[in-house]
Chains A and B, each alone.
Chain A
Amino acid sequence: MLENRKKRRCPCLRLSNLLRNCLVADRQKTVTLGEELKTVQDYLSLEKIRYEDRLNVRTDIQPESLSVQVPPMMVQTLVENAVKHGISKPLKGGFISIESRLEGNFLNLAIRNTGVLGHTDSGGFGLINTSQRLSLIYGPTASFLISQETEDVVCARIKLPVQ
Chain B
Amino acid sequence: MKTLIIDDERLARNELRRLLGAFPRIEIVGEASNSEEALDKIDQLGPELLFLDIQMPGKNGFELLSSIEGNVPDVIFTTAYDEYALKAFEFNALDYLLKPIEPSRLAEAINKVEDYQQHEVKRKENVKLLTAEDQVFVKDGEKCWFVKLGKIRLFESMGNYVRLHFEDQKPLILKSLNALDEKLDPHAFFRANRKHIINLQWVEKIEPWFSGGLQVTLKGGEKIEISRRQAIRFKEMMSL
- Give the contact-size bracket for chain A: 10 to 19
Distance in angstroms between the alpha carbons of A52 and B11 in the assembled complex = 9
Interface of A, secondary structure class, is loop
> Does B120 make an interface contact (CB < 8 A)?
no
Cross-chain pair count, CB within 8 angstroms: 20
Among residues of A, the one whose C-beta sits closest to the C-beta of B12 is A50
- Enumerate chain A residues within 8 angstroms of B14, measured Cβ to Cβ: 3
Interface flag for B219 (CB, 8 Å):
no
Beyond A2-B18, A91-B34, is A50–B9 a contact (Cβ under 8 Å)? Answer: yes
Whole-angstrom distance between the Cβ of A6 and the nearest chain B Cβ: 15
- Chain B residue at minimum C-beta to C-beta distance from A87: B57
Which among A2, A51, A91 is the interface contact of B9 at CB below 8 angstroms?
A51
The size bracket of the interface on B is 10 to 19
State in angstroms the CA–CA spacing of A36 and B34 once bound together: 34
Q: Which residue of B lies closest to A52 (CB)?
A: B10
Q: How far is the CA of A29 from the CA of B58 in the complex (A)?
A: 40
**Chain A positions 89 through 104: 1 when the CB is less than 8 Å from some CB of chain B, otherwise 0:** 1110100000000000
> What residues make up the interface of B, taking CB atoms closer than 8 Å to A?
9-11, 14-15, 18, 34, 55, 57-58
In order of increasing CB-CB distance, the 7 nearest A-B pairs are A91-B57, A91-B58, A89-B57, A90-B57, A50-B9, A91-B34, A52-B10
Q: What are 8 A-B pairs at a CB distance below 8 A? A: A3-B14, A49-B11, A50-B11, A51-B9, A52-B10, A88-B57, A89-B57, A90-B57
